[in-house]
Amino acid sequence: MMPLRMKSCELEKTDYLIVGSGVAAMRCALALADSGNVLMLTKQCSPAQPSKHSDGLIAIASSDEEEIRLHYEDTLCAGEGLCKTEAVKVLVEEGPRYMEELVSWGASFERHAGRVLSPKHGAEPRSYIFKGRSQSTANEILETLHHRIAALPNVKVLMNAAAEDLIVKNGAVVGAHYCDLKTGRQHTVSARAVFAGTGGMGQLYPETTNSDLSTGDGLAIAFRAGAELSDMEFIQFHPTVLYLKNAPRVLLPESLRAEGGYLRNADLERFMHHYHPQEELAPRDAVSRAIMLEMVKTQSSYVYLDCTHLDGEILKRRFPTVFEMFLEFNLDISENMIPIHPAAHYCIGGIKIDTQGRTSLRGLYAAGEASCSGVHGSNRLSSNSLLESLVFGARAGEAMRGENPPPSIPIHSNGHPEKPASIGKGRDLAEDLVGRLKKAMWQFVGVIRSGLSLKHALKELEEYETHSRPCDSSPHALRFRNLLSVAGVVTASALAREESRGAHYREDFPLRKDARFLKHSSISKNHAVCFTE
């Protein structure tokens, strides 16, 4: 056996450490900016990377009590009994203030003119739905926050930096280890408080709308540190995602179905009436399951979204971004049916937080997709995610101000030994393992699950554990290690919930069981899955 060696490391100090650079992370940084020095770690090459193919809406009621009530009710309805009402109340009542704040910082929005899929009533006009005026809503918000942060001298954004693990001392998070992805150098940083805002974990699956960076890093490091994760079985699969060879998995807005788009199988037959009374206007989870069953039935890898019977000029006027985007793929949606396939889209569960972003570990905070505030329940109302990141990112930042300075961290705490194995060989092995992991998750822990499939997945994941080395901090090994951590949590949580609710569907338990499972799942490194109110 070759001798172990220690990578060189550096010890740094900051007042507040933020892992991630999305909406929640940047809004948290802004809340902390006048309270001390803030260090943001991001794997990205720039602090804000707008996506050319992203879209989406944001739900923000005005001060009108009726709009707030509708937003509150729609959110509870989508969550199928598992929304935490206190968190939802915070979201809908404080949302308008954060919208006004964004506008004062230069963001531009307009009320969405089309009809929006309501979880209860199908295609419903909702006046509290907004979109970015000149680009996608998420990009509008990201760029606005980025420009704001760039002007702050005490907020440092460190790019190409990946958090490896949190540092816990006397039961509190006091810093983190991270790796410079360009040099391979390891660093230790101490902080009064640490915030996890790393987004989701869509890369658990081969079919996903998420970027390559969505590997569940925040959830994984929090779990390994002992934090409590909640509702991890609820993975939302978007039903209508472009399925073309060598093309990105671009999602088609649900409003295309709300405008009258049809779903057709490979034999060009409409099929939604066989699965749900609302047909194409059914909730996302029902549509995704129907598509998967139709693909099996017709032995095809996709179905079609058909808008060719709709007025082309109206489509161009209402969906200009979609029209331009699909012309890049030589598809005119007014003349061509679009091949689609479900894809992993949003992690509803995450690091369990309260309404101030506090986790079960002192000194660790979270918000956004990496967290579980209870806003979404078991099935997210799609236009709530951006608002949740804004509201709870800001609230977490405010709460972090009260944390005390951390105790000193000895430099040897960063001693991660590493075997000097061939980089090329290690990379190939890690990439092969990630590929096998993703395939297993899609096959056994995907849109439709069963006790048998989930047990098979757990057995396969246990085999992968032998290849996970904490001592190896190469980017590819770290990616595999984090995906493996969250894959185990998702699978164990899904196996424990012996019912179907929201985004979690068990074919062996197809009905809801409120008497036993009208509760939130909870799991940590030292405790198996349990269910709590």
Task: Just list the catalytic residues.
Answer: 284
Write out 187-238 in H/E/C secondary structure: EEEECCEEEECCCCCHHHCCCECCCCCCCCHHHHHHHHHCCCEECCCCEEEE
Compute the distance between CA of residue 488 and CA of residue 495 in angstroms, rounded to an integer. Answer: 11
List the one residue out of 215, 173, 134 whose CA is nearest residue 18: 173
Compute the distance between CA of residue 26 and CA of residue 113 in angstroms, rounded to an integer. Answer: 29
| Phi-psi category of residue 436: left, alpha or beta, with phi > 0 → left and psi -120 to 50 → alpha | alpha
Compute the distance between CA of residue 183 and CA of residue 179 in angstroms, rounded to an integer. Answer: 8
- Sole residue written with tokens 């799609």: 382
Q: Are 36 and 155 in contact (CB under 8 A)?
A: no
Compute the distance between CA of residue 195 and CA of residue 109 in angstroms, rounded to an integer. Answer: 28
Side chain identity, residue 518: L
Cα pseudo-dihedral 150, 154, 159, 162, rounded to 10: -140
List the one residue out of 112, 372, 326, 368 whose CA is nearest residue 230: 372
Cα pseudo-dihedral 492, 348, 280, 276, rounded to 10: 40
The structure tokens listed for 316 are 């161009």
Q: How many CA atoms lie within 13 A of 418 on its CB side?
A: 20
List the one residue out of 327, 319, 239, 325 whose CA is nearest residue 287: 239
Compute the distance between CA of residue 423 and CA of residue 117 in angstroms, rounded to an integer. Answer: 49
Q: Are 163 and 177 in contact (CB under 8 A)?
A: yes
User: What 8-state DSSP symbol labels residue 513?
Assistant: -
CB count within 10 Å of CB 289 equals 21
What phi and psi, each to the nearest 5 degrees, are found at residue 113?
Answer: -80, -25
Q: What does the radius of gyration of the chain's CA atoms come to, in whole angstroms?
A: 22
Strand order in the sheet with 262-264: 235-242, 338-347, 303-306, 262-264
Side chain identity, residue 78: A
> Please, what is the Cα angle at 124 between 123 and 128, to 5 degrees?
135
Compute the distance between CA of residue 319 and CA of residue 313 in angstroms, rounded to an integer. Answer: 10
Q: How many CA atoms lie within 13 A of 276 on its CB side?
A: 19
Terminal CA-CA length for the chain: 51
